[in-house]
Structure 1
Amino acid sequence: MIWTKQRGRANLLLPVAVTLAVSVMAAMYWGRGEPTTAQRLAETEAAKRPLLVIAEHRTARLQALYQLQPQLEAQLGIRLKIVEYPAPPQDYFTKLVTELRAGNAPDVFTVPRDLQVDDLAAAGYLADLTTDAQQWPGYAQLPELVKTLTRASFNEHVYVIPSIVAVEQLYYRHDLLTDAGISTAQPQNWQELLERSREIKQKMAQYPLLIPAGLTWGMGSYTEGLRYLLASFQHYQLLNGQNQYVLDNNAVRRSFGFYQTLIEEQLMPVQPLLNPEPWVIPKYEMFPKGQLLITTCGSWCPVFDWGPGSRNPIPDVANAVRTWKFPSADGGKPFALASVVYAWGVNAKSRQQPLARQLVLALGENDVALAYAKQLGNVPARLDAAEHPAFAALGNLMADHALLKDARALRTTVGSNAMMAGVAQASEAVLTGRADGERAQQMLYDYVVNVLGSAQVETAGLAAAGQPDKGHNDD
């Protein structure tokens, strides 16, 4: 009998549903049978293994770690407890630092970018891995640049074990430029990039180029923006021999001046960069629609920004979007940038120090790096990854991996957050027309001195005479 009224129907069917559920559970239990003595012993032995807590975040990274978990546990004789942290990198880092300060952070975790290593190491949160790294066979397989980025600038000790690297270049719409009859040859210098941009604007009536800037882009105004321009100078380094920030330099002034040219000639979109999430419109909407033709980006972008699973996928993205190295400012060769991303560190207060150190070394092996790289659109940190049987599965990323030997980076030191905040403020002033390149340089210098103190900043030029260029450490 089935009642026609919904309430009566639900009341009648509830006992039936419960009975069926109980029957299914019983069938599953009796079908499985009692655990054997061997199974019980195995479970008991597994429970006796030391427990290590590891923090991870973002779906792609979590998928990779869960996939690798049985292998890592068996290899090291441990149990891994994976703690899922918030997904956005800044939220992840904020939670991590909060727990490190409180003394209850995981045994092992990642540092999102190499420029955050110095601050964490100086605060005493990271275990010193120098001896571990030097005795690890994988260390010899790291490019010298990658080795440098694993060390704290203030003492040259190793504090993280790298697994994957982001390779960053200019990404451009090869399909649309070709259709418009515009050269897709590699620009060799800033002038060629500007001339190409002007031609795009004239022939296509679209914005040619995006180099991120402004307050709301945050640290990306440096990492995805000014860093490219500063690295364009062959002999410029952001730090001097005394580990001070070098901001009174012609390279800094000229870099902000490049922004000024892009904005004055309307070669770069400005209004989207003043929005709360400034990357959304230019990178996720304008670039796929062909309203923006060139942008700085990294090896992850064809996967997450424009790939099949992205917000606005670009058809046949591997052929439609191609890369140029970033052109030189002073007669050098075009280059790719490299960033050590999500390198593994050990909590200095971990009670499982020996095992935690073994774990981060295991996470630096090529099979682990390849699993992460494929999920995230990055490349393995080690050069010998190219000899691994799974390397071919990276597809187009293999070409990015080949760039590691000659890639560039700018090293930072303690206070990198203040330096990047200064870049965001100064570049915002250029975006809004409140400052030219010279004034923006002065704003950056003043901000960093005010926050970090004059001892942290080289003062030979701007502080002494109020001039943007005294010829020191110049191009």
Structure 2
Amino acid sequence: MSRNRVRAAAAAGALLAGALTACSGSGDDDGSVTIKLLEYQKARADVIEPLIPEFERAMARRGQEVKVELIADTLTDDQFRTKITQQLHSGSAPDVIDMGGTNVTGLAGAGYLLKLDEYLDGWDGWDQYYASVKDGVRQPDGGYYSLPHEASVQSLFYRKDVLERLGVDTSQPRTWDELIGRMKQVRAETGEAPMVLPAGTAWGAGSWSEGLLPIVAGTGSTLYDAESRKWTLESEGLSAAFDLYAELIEDGLLPARDLQNPNPWEPTKYQKFPEGTITVAAQGSWGWKYDWGPEGAAPIENVREKVGVWDYPALVPGTEPYSVSGGGYGYSVSAESGHPDAAAELVKWLSSGVPLAKQLTAVGAVSPRKDLSGTAPYKDEPTLLEAERKLPGTVQPLLGDGQDQVSQAVQGTTAELVSGDADGGEAADDFAEEAEELLGRPRVAK
């Protein structure tokens, strides 16, 4: 553990008592403390910027002079991962980093992030977090290195208006066989592939996190065991999921050519779903805002009237329809922060009340807390509130270190399915072989 992490843990009791003793003794020439906050997506930076003076005033009322410098550095996900890893390694990273949960495990395991447990224990805000959200961000050592300020629910979005016009049942499908029967009805009417699940290398990590993973998550098969820290690469659930993809492609229900497009989400989610050619799309709750909302990438007029949401149907016997809860972005603190107490105060303040409600509304995310449904402007987002009501009953897939390698293997093997170079069984075998090679034998359960 670094010297700063030891000092942060020792000072936690003072923080919870309302003092920032570690910060008050050091800082700028005027006695104040300056901490840096990194936002690498413009929409997030735009909503955070006007909140910073409010936080500074709130701290001033408590007798603490804390300044926040916002670093708004617009980057792609890959650019961000490269840059933040370099900065953390060199000790030059900002105090607070806002990032997706998939980045946290590796960085925490490398010792780059501050363990936040001492700051969260005893904080009444932590008691308001949904259990599934807490479970999703708990790291293999049992600790928390990120405070999530959003959640997501992944489901199947469908075009109610189109299906009703075609005379296709819009009630919740109980099984994939039932849903496939409906999609065959649509294809018979339109001659087009009627649904999209992310797959292939062009879709990148989405082929795993938004494609295969949500399907496997509801099968009851274990993917990752936190105690042994090993991945199970062969299971009934994985075999069933690869077989499902193969069946959908063979029956012409997935747009194989579009999935091989360099930007496969454009002809599918941004063109054919909005125009109604594709009638079912695997999607997260963020789609209401980012994809099909009035200011989204491909707005659908009167989207709430035209689009509905189904749970994923059951794939294997003995299971029931379900939705999947996924992580969103969270605030982490650099293990080498010179002012960890002030950084933790900022993280908690941004993850509470009106500041949190404004962020959720701006990015179309679901509240990770139970106490936001009456807070404006979040309270005026019916689609997000509906998704939040599902959150306690969602499936939360347990994942750990090695996700990137598993994702890479999924991308390659689903690409084989899309191109017709493998059937379901062959893809499952190829996945297990490739993932084991990428992960290394010690991280694979046998």
> What's the CA shift string for 1:410-442, capped at 9, x where partnerless?
121112111100110111111111111121122
> How many residues were matched structurally?
412
2:75 equivalent to 1:61: no
Instruction: Check conservation: 1:210, 1:268, Cα contact below 8 A.
Output: yes
Counterpart residue number, 2:97? 109
Q: Distance in 2 between matches of 1:49 and 1:285?
A: 51
How far does residue 265 in structure 1 lie from its aligned partner after superposition?
0.6
Q: 2:229 aligns with which of 228, 237, 243?
A: 243
Structure 1: runs of 5 or more not aligned? 1-44, 460-475
2:251 equivalent to 1:265: yes
2:83 equivalent to 1:95: yes
How far does residue 214 in structure 1 lie from its aligned partner after superposition?
0.4
Instruction: Check conservation: 1:163, 1:380, Cα contact below 8 A.
Output: yes
Instruction: Check conservation: 1:115, 1:413, Cα contact below 8 A.
Output: no
Q: Distance in 2 between matches of 1:264 and 1:445?
A: 22
Mapping 1:69-468, distance limit 5 Å: 69-76=52-59, 77-112=65-100, 114-153=101-140, 155-233=141-219, 235-240=220-225, 241-330=227-316, 331-388=318-375, 390-459=377-446
Mean Cα displacement is larger for which, 325-334 or 117-126? 325-334
How far does residue 46 in structure 1 lie from its aligned partner after superposition?
11
- Secondary structure of 1:186's partner? coil
Q: Distance in 2 between matches of 1:266 and 1:393?
A: 40
- Residue type of the alignment partner of 1:73: E
> What's the CA shift string for 1:19-38, capped at 9, x where partnerless?
xxxxxxxxxxxxxxxxxxxx
Instruction: Check conservation: 1:213, 1:424, Cα contact below 8 A.
Output: yes
TM-score (norm 2): 0.89
Mean Cα displacement is larger for which, 220-229 or 86-95? 86-95
- Residue type of the alignment partner of 1:279: W
- Secondary structure of 2:372's partner? helix
- Residue type of the alignment partner of 2:324: L
- Secondary structure of 1:125's partner? coil
- Secondary structure of 1:343's partner? strand
Instruction: Check conservation: 2:81, 2:103, Cα contact below 8 A.
Output: no
- Secondary structure of 2:230's partner? coil
Mapping 1:40-51, distance limit 5 Å: 48-51=31-34
Paired-residue identity, %: 28
> What's the CA shift string for 1:189-241, capped at 9, x where partnerless?
111111111111112323221110101111101111001210121x2221134
Instruction: Check conservation: 1:366, 1:382, Cα contact below 8 A.
Output: no
Moved over 6 A (4+): none
TM-score (norm 1): 0.83
Instruction: Check conservation: 1:216, 1:277, Cα contact below 8 A.
Output: yes
Q: Distance in 1 between matches of 2:367 and 2:30?
A: 33
Instruction: Check conservation: 2:175, 2:313, Cα contact below 8 A.
Output: yes
> What's the CA shift string for 1:159-181, capped at 9, x where partnerless?
11111112211111111111111
Instruction: Check conservation: 1:46, 1:79, Cα contact below 8 A.
Output: no
- Secondary structure of 1:408's partner? coil
Q: Distance in 2 between matches of 1:47 and 1:165?
A: 39
Instruction: Check conservation: 1:231, 1:410, Cα contact below 8 A.
Output: yes
How far does residue 390 in structure 1 lie from its aligned partner after superposition?
4.2
Q: Distance in 2 between matches of 1:446 and 1:458?
A: 13
How far does residue 75 in structure 1 lie from its aligned partner after superposition?
2.1
Mean Cα displacement is larger for which, 383-392 or 61-70? 383-392
Q: Distance in 2 between matches of 1:214 and 1:133?
A: 40
- Secondary structure of 1:55's partner? strand
- Secondary structure of 2:57's partner? helix
Q: What is the RMSD computed on CA atoms of the aligned residues?
A: 1.7
> What's the CA shift string for 1:387-423, capped at 9, x where partnerless?
4354422232111111111111212111211110011
- Secondary structure of 2:400's partner? coil
